[in-house]
């Protein structure tokens, strides 16, 4: 009996313990897990409205402003040059680019001069008798006649009858023949019209040159023109004499230029006009590509930002204390990488760099104000 009582008592105690344990577990409050808050770091810039220039960017290739294509007007053998007639050769102004052998032409010129001299000598006796007042001038002309020097102008007739008399003796025709041959004689020597560089050479010493044959190209390597297309919407804002900023494609070198001409014809395919910019400076070469930045106009009360900061093309994020907000803006002009906007308040803190996953009301930590740093 005693064992039975102890067994029953043990069962009652165990059941009671299980009941109390269950009650404690049911009444236990499990705290809700805390949400981990992620704070994004951002860079900002301070808005400072003002006049922002609208810059039209375009590009083109350099061409020499002073360029001469060399052609021969006479025939003969290429005899000599002041230096090697090859691309890259430099010539001073007035130096000989090409000298073509002119022995045959020189002989013909001397023959014509001799014929003219004889005609004038035969004229003198009749002039002494019929026009004694003009005889001293013609005699002096004969005495000063030089076969090797350029021919001097004939003495002027003192009357119409004297002029007809001289014409009847066939003096003027050989005179102008000699003048024509002397003019043609100058074509056998081609001189540099300015100091420059030979960019193309199509003949060498000893080559037989024919009349009308192209010999090469000669340029001034110090002054260039840049021809660039500009949209017609800005044609009325660009003027002759306007300064232009230029740089190479890599944007490592800069030059200053000036608008010298504006073509009035519009290209139908691109709806643009051609603007010509004069530029000179170190490291410029024929055919080199340059980018030109032309200031077309200014926008008042505006601020320029990165195009990547735009949201739906008419909003941007700003920072108020530690929270992001969206504000409406008015894009005034889109550039290739930036946009000029209006509608921002001075002193407003806006994002300086895009933030992936940014949203209205997002908590952020401002790392640095890039406006103050710059």
Taking all residues of the chain, what is their mean pLDDT, rounded to a whole number?
Answer: 87
175 sits in the region (left: phi over 0; alpha: psi -120 to 50; else beta) called: alpha
Q: Residue range 42-70: average pLDDT? A: 89
Please check whether residues 75 and 207 belong to one and the same domain: yes
User: Which residue range is the domain that position 88 belongs to?
Assistant: 66-95+192-219
CA distances from 229 to 234, 274, 288, 336, 339 (A): 11, 5, 16, 16, 22
Number of domains in the chain: 5
Q: Above 70 in pLDDT, residue 15?
A: yes
Please check whether residues 110 and 177 belong to one and the same domain: yes
Q: Does residue 113 fall inside a structural domain? A: yes
Domain boundary among 272, 298, 324: 298
Q: In what order do the strands lie in the sheet with 214-219?
A: 67-71, 214-219, 196-201, 90-91
Tens digit of each residue's pLDDT (9 = 90 or more) over 289-323: 999 988 777 888 999 999 898 888 889 999 988 88
Quote the pLDDT of residue 36: 55
Instruction: DSSP letter for 232, please.
Output: G
Quote the pLDDT of residue 100: 95
How does DSSP assign 164-188, residue by residue?
HHHHHTT-HHHHHHHHHHHHHHGGG
> In this structure, what CATH number is given to the domain that contains residue 71?
2.40.50.100
Tens digit of each residue's pLDDT (9 = 90 or more) over 223-254: 999 999 988 877 777 889 989 999 998 889 99
Neighbour count for residue 85 (Cβ, 10 Å): 23
Quote the pLDDT of residue 264: 86
Quote the pLDDT of residue 372: 60
Please check whether residues 226 and 196 belong to one and the same domain: no
For the chain, the C-alpha Rg in angstroms (whole number) is 46
**DSSP-based three-state secondary structure for 250:** coil
Q: What percent of the chain has pLDDT over 70?
A: 95
Tens digit of each residue's pLDDT (9 = 90 or more) over 259-283: 999 998 888 888 889 999 999 988 8
Say if pTM beats, i.e. exceeds, 0.85. Answer: no
> Please, which pLDDT band fits residue 155 given cuts at 50, 70 and 90?
very high
CA 137 to chain centre: 60
Quote the pLDDT of residue 205: 92
Instruction: DSSP letter for 344, please.
Output: P
Please check whether residues 214 and 226 belong to one and the same domain: no
């Amino acid at each position: 009996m005693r064992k039975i009582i102890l067994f029953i008592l043990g069962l009652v105690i165990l059941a009671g313990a299980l009941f109390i344990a269950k009650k404690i577990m049911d009444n236990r409050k499990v705290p809700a897990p805390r949400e981990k808050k992620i704070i994004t770091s951002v860079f900002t810039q301070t808005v400072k409205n003002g006049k922002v220039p609208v810059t039209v960017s375009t590009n083109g290739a350099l061409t020499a402003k002073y360029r001469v294509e060399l052609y021969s007007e006479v025939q003969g053998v290429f005899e000599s040059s002041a230096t090697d007639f090859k691309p890259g050769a430099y010539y001073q102004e007035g130096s000989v680019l090409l000298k073509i052998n002119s022995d045959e032409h020189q002989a013909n010129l001397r023959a014509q001069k001799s014929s003219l001299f004889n005609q004038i000598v035969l004229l003198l006796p009749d002039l002494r008798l019929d026009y004694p007042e003009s005889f001293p001038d013609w005699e002096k002309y004969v005495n000063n006649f030089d076969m090797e020097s350029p021919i001097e102008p004939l003495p002027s007739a003192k009357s119409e009858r004297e002029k007809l008399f001289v014409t009847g003796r066939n003096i003027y025709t050989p005179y102008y023949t000699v003048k024509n041959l002397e003019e043609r004689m100058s074509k056998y020597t081609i001189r540099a019209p300015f100091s420059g560089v030979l960019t193309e050479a199509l003949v060498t010493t000893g080559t037989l040159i024919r009349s009308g044959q192209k010999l090469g190209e000669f340029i001034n390597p110090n002054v260039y023109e840049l021809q660039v297309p500009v949209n017609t919407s800005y044609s009325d804002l660009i003027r002759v004499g306007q300064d232009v900023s230029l740089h190479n494609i890599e944007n490592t070198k800069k030059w200053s230029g000036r608008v010298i001409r504006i073509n009035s014809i519009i290209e139908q395919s691109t709806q643009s006009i051609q603007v010509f910019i004069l530029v000179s400076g170190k490291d410029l070469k024929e055919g080199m590509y340059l980018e030109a930045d032309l200031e077309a106009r200014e926008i008042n009360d505006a601020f320029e930002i990165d195009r990547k900061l735009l949201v739906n093309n008419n909003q941007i994020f700003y920072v108020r204390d530690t929270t992001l907000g969206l504000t409406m803006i008015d894009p005034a002009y889109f550039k290739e990488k930036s946009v000029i906007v209006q509608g921002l308040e001075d002193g407003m803190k806006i994002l300086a760099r895009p933030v992936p996953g940014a949203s209205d009301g997002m908590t952020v930590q401002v790392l640095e104000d890039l406006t103050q740093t710059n």
